[in-house]
């Protein structure tokens, strides 16, 4: 990682009240590099043996509480996180999840509006849409 990128990541952590440990910097760098949502197990695979499962879990929770990342969706016990730069507080873009390899992709150009679709008395707090299927690699 370049010194400028490391300073940028460390600054982002500090601005959000999180100490810039080596593990936290590495996890945030993965999100910036990936440009797509990541699950805890994907992060652990990318890091190799650098951090254990509990450490990655604590880092993800700290980042989510600080607003550095947010949970894109939950599928059973499988949680997928992403940087919040493509979503608003109440409306997140749709995602695609491969049922074979677990890869998740953002569908940024894909708009879904539920405005007016809810019946009387319903109050929408957050919109999350997940499309499941096979990614191009698994389809072949």
Helix boundaries (H) for 16-139: 22-34, 40-47, 53-66, 136-139
Tell me the mean pLDDT in the region 27-50: 89
Q: pLDDT by residue (tens digit) across 77-131?
A: 678 888 877 665 556 677 788 888 888 877 777 766 666 677 788 877 766 777 8
C-alpha distance from residue 53 to each of 8, 60, 68, 104, 105 (Å): 26, 11, 20, 20, 23
76-81: long-range pairs with CB below 8 Å, 24+:
78/39, 78/102, 79/39, 79/40, 80/37, 80/38, 80/39, 80/104, 81/31, 81/37, 81/38, 81/39
Domains defined along the chain, listed by start: 3-139 (1.10.10.10)
What is the reported pLDDT for 106? 75
pLDDT of residue 57 exceeding 90: yes
- In contact, 53 and 68? CB cutoff 8 Å: no
Look at residues 132, 97, 95 and name the one whose alpha carbon lies nearest to residue 112.
Answer: 95
Q: Give dist(CA 44, CA 29) in Å, integer.
A: 13
Question: What is the pLDDT confidence band of residue 31, given thresholds at 50, 70 and 90?
Answer: very high
Mind listing the pLDDT tens digit for each residue in 58-84? Answer: 999 999 999 898 887 666 667 888 887
Specify the pLDDT at position 91.
Answer: 61
- Residue given tokens 């190799």 in the structure block: 48
């Amino acid at each position: 990682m370049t010194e400028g990128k490391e300073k940028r990541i460390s600054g982002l952590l500090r601005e959000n009240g999180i100490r810039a440990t080596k593990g936290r910097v590495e996890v945030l760098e993965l999100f910036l590099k990936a440009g797509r949502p990541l699950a805890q197990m994907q992060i652990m695979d990318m890091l190799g043996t650098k951090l254990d499962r509990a450490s990655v879990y604590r880092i993800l929770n700290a980042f989510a509480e600080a607003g550095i990342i947010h949970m894109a969706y939950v599928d059973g016990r499988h949680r997928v996180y992403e940087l919040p730069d493509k979503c608003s507080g109440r409306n997140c873009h749709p995602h695609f999840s491969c049922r074979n390899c677990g890869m998740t992709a953002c569908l940024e150009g894909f708009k879904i509006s539920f405005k007016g679709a809810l019946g009387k008395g319903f109050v929408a707090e957050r919109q999350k849409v997940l499309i499941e299927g096979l990614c191009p690699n698994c389809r072949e």
